[in-house]
Chain A
Amino acid sequence: MFLQMNNVAKTFAQHEVFSGIDLSIQENQFVSLLGPSGCGKSTLLSMVAGLESATEGSISLGGKTILEPGTDRGMVFQQPALFPWLTVRDNVTFPLKDKLSKKEQDQIAAHYLKMVHLTRFKEAYPHELSGGMQQRVAIARALAMDPKVLLMDEPFGALDEQTRHILHDELMKIFQETKKTILFVTHSIQEAIKLSDRVIVMGTRPGRIIADFPVDVERPRQRDNSRVIELEQEIMELLKGEINKVLKEELDHETKHFT
């Protein structure tokens, strides 16, 4: 399989985040990782990026075990993390530096900035852009190194509702145009169903995969589509149990400490 996780576990100091994660992801698929906060979605994504190592098991991309970050995997974080001292264009060409001529770099930047509709702002500095625009630059920057996989960790989580919807549509277009494999972390059920070919639901305490839904609905997806509503309710039911578990544990914790 293209992106393969075999029996992956992560433990920070004494705290086990998850264990026994097995997951196979096909090329050109849009896969969402959905789960309550704290279940280890970001940790798993960071491991695919190579920012964190696996305590147990292994992750491989195209048959090669992932040991460190590399330009075959682009990542977009919840915070755009653009470099404020560089122009929009120079941010986008940052991962390319040294490898290509100035002209080729400019062409690549122009191509991806056009894709995210920011051609006009190539000479601007990040602080001159809105949050949504900054996140689009971050997407263009990740795409510029032409990765095989695009990793996105709640990329629209900090944006307002309206901007989020616009960016959903843009991301869908980019997905169809570039044919990237996308691994998308979110805690929003609607977002996962709206965008993905497949939704992986994670549970917590201990972190694990509890369900794996193919989303067999024609794009673009409408919220009032009956299959969408059905899926939403199914996943909601699943997650309710998980969220209750977290709440109960936190309440127990509190009663233990304050009574």
Chain B
Amino acid sequence: MKLSILLKRVIFIGVLLAIWQGVYMSGYFPAIQFPPPTKVFQAMVEGFADGKLVSALLASFKHLLIGLGLAIGIGTLIGVLLGKSRQADETAGMYLIAMQSIPSIVWVPLAIMLIGLNETAVIFVVVLGGTFVMALNTRTAIHSVPPEFIKAARTMGTKGMRLFFKVEVPASLPYFMSGIRLAWAFSWRALMAGELLSNGPGLGYSLRYAMDFAQMEVVIGIIIIVGVIGSVVDQLIFSKMEKKVMRRWGLLK
């Protein structure tokens, strides 16, 4: 069963590559616009070998880690404030949803004009990309703490800070984890948008550089890397953590 799924997936990729190779060999597109899979693969190997892709990747991860870390921190603070204070929620909750609906690429010109064409601007965009979704999910997490947990804890003499940290925080962990997973996803997209328009370093910048120099095989190679990292990080880290919490909390069987 497991093996047959794997087999299907491998065959699927194989077929795609074959079609790609076939279109290339038909000569319909000029080779400069449409490199064969082998050439893309070769470009990726070279990029890693000469260290260019590696340093771009490291720069991107640095932007992401700082930006996502800040987004999670700031988003959690805003979310807790809105979750705990009805006043704050009624006043600012709606605007948070509005902010969340702004595509992060829109922030790029603002960031560049405000901060300049540098890495800080990229990180700024990443932070904006992740903060709002984190805040919204943290707010939902606090609101979704079952009231019977609070009541039970209070009858056991728990109140104040202890009630918050020992009951409300752990009780809201499942939604909080979804928040982190979404913040990562949004930040990752924002990172690419920001880097694409920055002047480096970073994966997004390398992508635009390759475009400027008409290196289609590098463009495709980087797109593949971005896709692979996105799904691998989601599957191996964030989805896994979220599922683990959900299972322990009895929300998933």
Binding site for B on A (CB under 8 A): 49-51, 69-71, 73-75, 77, 79, 81, 83-85, 94-95, 97, 125-127, 138, 141-142, 145, 151
With beta carbons under 8 angstroms apart, the residue of B148, B159, B249 that contacts A81 is B148
Contact of B156 among A71, A77, A79, A127 (CB under 8 A): A71
Chain B nearest CB, measured from A75 CB (Å): 4
Contact pick for B157, options A69, A77, A126, CB 8 Å: A69
User: Which 4 residue pairs of A and B lie closest in terms of their CB atoms, listed nearest first?
Assistant: A127-B250, A95-B156, A81-B152, A75-B155
Q: A81 with B157: in contact, given A125-B248, A127-B250 (CB under 8 Å)?
A: no
Check B146 against A81 for contact (C-beta < 8 Å).
yes
B154 at the interface (CB under 8 A from A): yes
Chain A residues whose CB sits within 8 angstroms of the CB of B149 once the complex forms: 81, 83
Evaluate contact between B156 and A85: CB separation under 8 angstroms: no
Question: A218 → chain B, closest Cβ, in Å?
Answer: 33
CA distance A186 to B148 in the complex (A): 19
Size range of the interface on B? 20 to 34
CB pair A81 B156 closer than 8 Å: no
- A71 vs B159: C-alpha distance when bound (angstroms): 12
Nearest CB of A to B87, in Å: 20
**Is B248 a contact partner of A94 (Cβ separation < 8 A)?**
no
Chain A residues within an 8 Å CB radius of B153: 94
CB distance from B248 to the nearest CB of A (A): 6
Binds A, one of B19-27, B125-133, B166-174, B226-234: B166-174
How many whole Å from A65's CB to the nearest CB in chain B? 17
Determine how close the nearest CB of chain B comes to the CB of A141; give it in whole angstroms: 8
Shortest beta-carbon distance, B148 to chain A, in Å? 4
Q: Please, which residues of chain A bring their CB within 8 A of the CB of B250?
A: 84, 125-127
B148 and A85 within 8 A (CB): no
| Cβ-defined partner of A83 (8 Å) among B155, B157, B171 | B171
B167 x A77 contact (CB < 8 A) = no
Contacts of A85 in B (CB 8 A): 170-171, 173, 248-249
Distance of A71 Cα from B149 Cα, bound (Å): 16
Known: A51-B155, A94-B166. 17 other contacts (CB 8 A): A51-B154, A69-B156, A69-B159, A73-B155, A74-B155, A74-B156, A75-B152, A77-B151, A81-B148, A81-B149, A83-B149, A83-B167, A85-B170, A94-B156, A125-B248, A127-B248, A138-B152
Residue of B nearest to A144 (CB): B156
Considering only residues 210-253 of chain B, those with a C-beta below 8 Å from chain A are 248-250
User: Nearest-CB distance from A102 to chain B (Å)?
Assistant: 16
A87 to chain B, nearest CB (A): 10
Bound CA span A142–B155, Å: 9
* Given known contacts A79-B148, A83-B149, A83-B167, A70 and B157 CB-to-CB distance under 8 angstroms: yes
B173 — nearest CB in chain A belongs to which residue? A85
Q: Hey, which chain B residues are within 8 Å of A142, CB to CB?
A: 155
B146 touches A69 (CB 8 A): no
Whether the pair A69, B155 counts as a contact (CB closer than 8 A) is: yes
CB neighbours of A71 from chain B (8 A): 156-157
Would you list 21 pairs from A and B whose C-beta atoms are within 8 A, ordered by A residue?
A50-B155, A51-B154, A51-B155, A69-B154, A71-B156, A71-B157, A74-B155, A75-B151, A81-B151, A81-B152, A83-B149, A83-B167, A83-B170, A84-B250, A85-B170, A85-B171, A94-B156, A94-B158, A95-B157, A126-B250, A151-B155
8 A Cβ contacts from B164-219 to A? 166-167, 170-171, 173
Q: Which residues of A contact B158 (CB under 8 A)?
A: 94-95
Bound Cα distance from A49 to B248, whole angstroms:
30
Report the bound CA distance from A49 to B152 in whole Å.
10
Of all chain A residues, the one with the shortest Cβ separation from B167 is: A83
Of residues B146, B152, B248, which shows the largest number of chain A Cβ atoms within 10 Å of its Cβ?
B152
Of residues 4 through 49 on chain B, the ones whose CB sits less than 8 Å from some CB of chain A are none
